[in-house]
């Protein structure tokens, strides 16, 4: 049976334990995703408390990380989503995404609406990918792909 959570505390505690186990076992997010059978972005989000995993995937992740049966149960529950408490994030990496939306949010809205019309981009029917590519000017660049289904606003 599928269950939903309304208090994120248990999932946050599990996320801490899972990351500690990941470090101790010296495994990558990709290795965890391979065990789960899902994308690295989806699996990472699930382990960090933002998605539920089906039972076989939850068992595979827990087995790889050496987590107990309670962890399997929690990994299967539908979480209370949204991981940034208290408004503006302070972690530098997360803050940069906040800053990008502060700067480009209205631009993205304008371009999406011009291209598609009134509506939203789903965060449920959604794919995320992160790639590291060489920068022709030296160093490396991050290519982040946000691929969400467009959902038009429907008058009623």
The verdict on whether 99 is a catalytic residue reads yes
The verdict on whether 81 is a catalytic residue reads no
The verdict on whether 12 is a catalytic residue reads no
Most distant CA atoms of the chain, gap in Å:
54
The active-site residue, picked from 99, 114, 115, 140, is: 99
CB 53 within 8 A of CB 12: no
Cα–Cα distance for residue pair 75/50, rounded to 1 Å: 10
Cα–Cα distance for residue pair 30/36, rounded to 1 Å: 10
The active-site residue, picked from 13, 20, 122, 141, is: 122
CB 36 within 8 A of CB 71: no
Q: Which residues are catalytic?
A: 96, 99, 122
């Amino acid at each position: 049976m599928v269950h939903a959570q309304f208090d994120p505390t248990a999932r946050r505690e599990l996320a801490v334990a899972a990351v500690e186990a990941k470090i101790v076992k010296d495994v990558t997010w990709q290795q965890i995703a391979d065990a789960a059978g899902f994308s690295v972005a989806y699996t990472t989000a699930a382990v960090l408390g933002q998605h539920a995993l089906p039972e076989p995937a939850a068992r595979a992740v827990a087995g790889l990380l050496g987590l107990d049966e309670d962890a399997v149960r929690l990994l299967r529950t539908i979480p209370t989503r949204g991981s940034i408490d208290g408004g503006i994030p302070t972690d530098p990496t997360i803050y940069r995404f906040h800053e990008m939306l502060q700067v480009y949010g209205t631009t993205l809205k304008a371009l999406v609406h011009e291209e598609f019309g009134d509506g939203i981009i789903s965060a449920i029917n959604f794919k995320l990918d992160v790639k590291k590519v060489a920068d022709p000017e030296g160093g490396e660049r991050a290519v982040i792909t946000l691929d969400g289904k467009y959902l038009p606003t429907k008058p009623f």
